Amino acid sequence: MRRFLTHFGIFSLSVCATLLLIEGGFRVFHPQDLGYWDSAPFRGFEPRPPHFIKNIPNSRAHFLGTEVAINSNGLRDREVVIPKPPHTVRVLVVGDSITFGYGIPIDHTYPKVLERLLNEAAPPSRRYEVLNGGALGGSLSDYYHFLSQKAPALQPDLVIVGIALNDILVYSPSGEISGEGAEWEGHNMPTTRRMSRFLLRHSHLYLFSYSRLKSFFYSTGVFDANTMRGAGFGALQPRSAYQTEAWDSSYAMLSQIVDFCRGRGYGIVLVVFPMQMQMSEAEFEFYRDKFHLHLGPGTLSGEPQARLREFGAKSGVAVVDLLPVFRSYPPKEMYLHNSMIPADPTHPSVKGDEVAAAEILRMLKTSIIK
């Protein structure tokens, strides 16, 4: 036992020394951006349950390789004049990281592209403002909370709700999320996740290896991508009792958002973003086979989008389903990927944001803007 412990100690010290040498080499010859994955400088939570997600007012960061600046109203936007100036049509967009612009410069996010397109076609007497109220990790209850807190002062004429399929969850009456998605990042975080977050903020070697290791572990089945927090694959999986409950709960939360907007005279539009595995049979097979995702037949048929269109028809709310127009472009052009993000089936690229904005504008011209 003594010999074993001696050899084990020598081996452990050798491994640690080697890793420290490699870490030093990265710091000198190939330094990494230690803030790349760190959203803490601009992303926070309400201190009391259900801990709604929010952007931290007047914060700044360099996140995912792009600059992020949050204004005094918690928007990823320039400062907003309150009260609203005359002859201004104000559109407030709420949503999650897709709307926020995950890895996308602010001017290329779909809210700001939409703003530019609207003003290019507007008469000289009218000015459009499209405000970006997206927040990383947000869900339907966060959108409702944000609207109830911010919309009265911002005075929107129109509210656009950017819906991601990971919004289809079970919500409590207070807005809490049931199940694994309810883990609040300020409490009960697994030790392994705390260690990973610490290393991402302090180790150049770990940051360099992070995406590659993560992709490897999901592809080999060491980690289960079907339960990955916030991935939103539940709406695409085969039907289950939880999925049925999640849809019923999400309809109820959407109805609250619709009633809130109508009660205050705001127009409302729902915009539904597809996921990459919905783009084609090849993309479906890639995510099913490489990452072992449990994808149901409704993935390619667009069943989640059909459910949301049906909700819109029953509620009298315009719904922009982006699945058909996204399918008219090569899938890999439409979703974010780079050396640090080898595969992301959720977040649109700059091209995806441009296509989304143009499709929203087309719908607005036909049914909302006269």
- Domain extents for the chain? 1-31, 81-367
Q: Rounded distance, CA 101 to CA 110, Å?
A: 8
Q: Which helix (H) or strand (E) holds 160?
A: strand 158-163
User: What six digits make up the tokens of 187?
Assistant: 């409490």
Lowest mean pLDDT among 45-54, 213-222, 232-241: 213-222
Q: Rounded distance, CA 91 to CA 8, Å?
A: 63
The answer to whether the pTM exceeds 0.85 is yes
Per the CB < 8 A criterion, the answer to whether 36 and 65 are in contact is yes
Q: Rounded distance, CA 17 to CA 299, Å?
A: 48
Model pLDDT, residue 224:
67
pLDDT digits (tens, 9 = 90+) for 79-130: 999 999 999 999 999 999 999 999 999 999 999 999 999 999 899 999 999 9
Model pLDDT, residue 367:
65
Model pLDDT, residue 184:
40
User: What six digits make up the tokens of 110?
Assistant: 């779909």
Model pLDDT, residue 180:
43
| Residue from 319, 325, 324 nearest 270 by CA | 319
Question: pLDDT class for 182, splitting at 50, 70, 90?
Answer: very low
In this structure, whether the domain defined by 81-367 belongs to CATH 1.10.287.370 is answered with no
Question: What φ, ψ does residue 310 adopt, rounded to 5°?
Answer: -65, -40
Pairing of strands 60-63, 53-55: unpaired
Q: Rounded distance, CA 134 to CA 109, Å?
A: 10
Other Cβ atoms less than 10 A from the Cβ of 41: the count is: 15
Question: pLDDT class for 225, splitting at 50, 70, 90?
Answer: low
